Amino acid sequence: MTLVKPEHVRSQLLRPLSLFRTYRREHVRADLVAGLTVTVILLPQAIAFSVIAQLPPQMGIYASIVAGLIGALWGSSSHMHTGPTNAMALLIASVLAGVALPGSDQYIVAAGMLAVMAGLLQFVMGMVNLGMLVDFVSHSVTVGFTAAAGILIIIKQIEPMLGLSTAGTNVLITLWEDIMHITELHVPTAAIGLGTLAAIVVLQRFAPRLPGPLIAMIGASAAVFLLDLDQQGVETVGQLPRSLPPLADLPLFDLELIAELSSGALAVAAIGMLSAVTIGRSISLHTGERVDSNQELVGQGLANVAAGFLSGYPVAPSFARSAVNVAAGAHSPLSAILSTIFLVVALFTLSPLAAYLPMAALAGTLVVTGYGLIDVQEIRRIWWGAREDALILTVTLLGTLFLRMEFAILVGILLSFAIYILKTSTPVVHAVVPDDSFRWLAKNPTRPQCPQMGILDIHGDLYFGATAHIERAIFAHLEAHPTQRFLLLRMHSVNVCDFTGIHMLESLIRHVRQQGGDLYLAHVRRPLLEVMQSTGLLETLGTDHILHERAAIEHMFYHVLDPAVCIYECPVRVFRECQNLPKPEYTQQIEVDPSPTEAVPEVEPEELWEALRGPQPPLVVDVREPREYERGHIPGAVLVPLPTLLHNGHTLPKDQAIVLVCRSGRRSVRAAHHLRHQGFEHVTTLKGGIIRWEACGLLEAVEQVGSTGEGFQPITDTTRQ
């Protein structure tokens, strides 16, 4: 299977054709109105955001024209509007600050190169279907970054809005310098800046349908023209060139510049990706349209590349313009395309008026937009919600305020990945027992567990990052419950298993079988079953060890667990099947601790095999039930069932070495402690019991049907003859 399918590539690149083929003519009027409405907002924003990025105003208009057109044609959303944004402009200024001097030709060229590099990253990621990586980045990164960007924008615009002249090196020093020099403000500039700010706030409060920023800036420009404020020291934007976006001469092979911009390009691409997905999902809540993250990356990538080559700078989707586009009734990307056409018309007709547009008015407008970026309600929800999201929010916000902005963004993204990896690499593994109705299995530490079998739920995938944690949890459970020789793993939450997980299961199988037990799996999903089959694990485990969820406990009870332990030793009744078991009266009178702390010497099956063939063989005493003994036992073993040994007396010799044998080793340990209390000194147990003896392929005897109990039919393994 290839990562990129040719038909998928064609559909991504030929996106404009599908848009035009499916366009409905009845939507033209609504798209026309929406496009004109967006243009009213886009024109002042394009100029204002260029001021934040410390770039010429015309670059913002060029970027708006190019990116708005390309983003609409190759994006996946019918309503998202691409172009300059306040947060992206602030990030551009931060990235370029260490590369060139603001206002210089090198600074402008670096802005174009930054757009091309970030666009190529986005385009390639979209083409190879890596849009899903955005899903692993916390929403708190975007909230923290935009909030910090809003704070920085407000503080940075105080100086031009009031006509101050300060030189702070960071946000705190800049704010302190502005406060200390507040008496030195330029009165005409401050009047224009604060008046614009007040006008926008009033219009948004009492006439929200009107384009407040545009009206306020027209009023400020009129004041400059009528009162000759430009002659009194009020700085203006200056006349804009009336031309289409020219082709920029970019140093595409300047490796030194590329290296300097690499981390910044990655941060710009990441913020653009996060903005596209976040805004797309927010809009889809109102429109029901599904956003394709990969197609959106392709559209944003092409928009950035085109903006860089055509005298623009990095762009991203704008939430404000996209929301206005939806509210204005847009039905298709044609609305964004029409907004760029209207912007071209405005560039040629309104360009002379920009000579009277005061910078203080732009600063007042940006203070309002910066305040809008600080989502106090969302920050409060995150802060009082999940601790991990609060941490990501705090790190991203403080990093953006006090560190290099691109570094802070990347730290926030990496922290998101780290928390995700931490969560997925430490899945919950806990023991479960039946509830009171015996219908469901659930975690309940207060209920007793079965002494023979542990049932563990695995809530996560068996991949290389989580396998070690799961393995430690399973072995910790086995260590805490040494008598549970059988394990039943519930795999209903396991969808992925790599080779590390396969090796872990193989190791677990070997361990439990060496201890005389076995491993069983329940509710195995098809993807996991296919991996087990293709890697040979299914053959090692055995198909009969894959159990259906509803029949798993019943199968284990009737076909795997030792019924003698259930009847004579188990003090609890865990499963439904246990409830009708007979409970002998004398089990309550046994004084021997069923789980003694004193260790009992054990003998390996191979050692016992050699000892039985030696000159002084030990006496093998089988403490199982008669029916178990008849199915198979060690040749020469004496049958003395555990209840008989404990209560009815026996005539075992005290001067002969005795090896006690049972099915798995539990009953023999109990019998050994009883004999030691009776004065027997040479008592050992067979490690792993008859299960391990059979696993070693040693000689076994089976009682013949109709025999008197003296004869036996040998079953010989050729490797032991």
Tell me, yes or no, if 578 is annotated catalytic. no
In total, the chain counts a number of residues equal to 721
DSSP 248-302: P---TT-HHHHHHHHHHHHHHHHHHHHHHHHHHHHHHHHH-PPP-HHHHHHHHHH
- Closest alpha carbon to 246 in 499, 62, 486, 53: 62
Reading the block at residue 96, the tokens are 């370029």
- Catalytic residue (one of 450, 566, 570, 662): 662
Identity of the amino acid at 479: E
Is there a contact between 274 and 141 (Cβ–Cβ < 8 Å)? Answer: yes
Helix 28-52 and helix 86-97, axial crossing angle in degrees, nearest 10: 30
648: which DSSP letter? I
Please answer whether residues 60 and 346 qualify as being in contact, where contact means their C-beta atoms are separated by less than 8 angstroms. no
- Using DSSP's 3-state secondary structure scheme, residue 520 falls into strand
CA distances from 29 to 389, 490, 580 (A): 43, 59, 78
The greatest distance separating any two alpha carbons of the chain, rounded to the nearest whole angstrom, comes to: 126
Question: The tokens of 104 are what?
Answer: 């210089």
Nearest to 360 by CA among 544, 600, 157: 157
Strand duo 441-442 + 433-434: pairing: antiparallel
For the record, the structure tokens of 82 come out as 């691409």
Short-list 399, 367, 366, 397, CA closest to 379 = 397
CA distance 389 to 138: 7
Residue 49 contacts residue 213 (beta carbons within 8 Å): no
In 356-432 the beta strands, taken as DSSP E runs, fall at: 428-431
- Region label for 241, one of left (φ > 0), alpha (ψ between -120 and 50) or beta (otherwise): beta
| Contact status, residue 221 vs residue 357, Cβ threshold 8 Å | yes
Interhelix angle for 212-227 vs 187-206, to 10°?
Answer: 150
Query: Where does 547-696 have alpha helices with state H?
Result: 552-559, 563-568, 605-612, 626-631, 642-643, 666-677, 689-695
Helix %, strand %, coil % of the chain (to 5): 60, 10, 30
Interatomic CA distance for residues 94 and 53, integer angstroms: 8
Number of neighbours of residue 567 by Cβ within 10 angstroms: 16
Angle at alpha carbon of residue 113, lines to 112 and 117, rounded to 5°:
125
Residue type at 574? V
Burial (CB < 10 A; 0-12, 13-18, 19+), residue 431, is: buried
The CA distance from 567 to 451, in Å, is 12
Cα 102 to Cα 92, 93, 269, distances in angstroms: 11, 8, 22
Q: How far apart are CA 350 and CA 68, in angstroms?
A: 20
Neighbours of 170 (CB within 10 A): 12
* Closest C-alpha among 259, 302, 316, 273 to residue 110: 259
Catalytic residues: 662
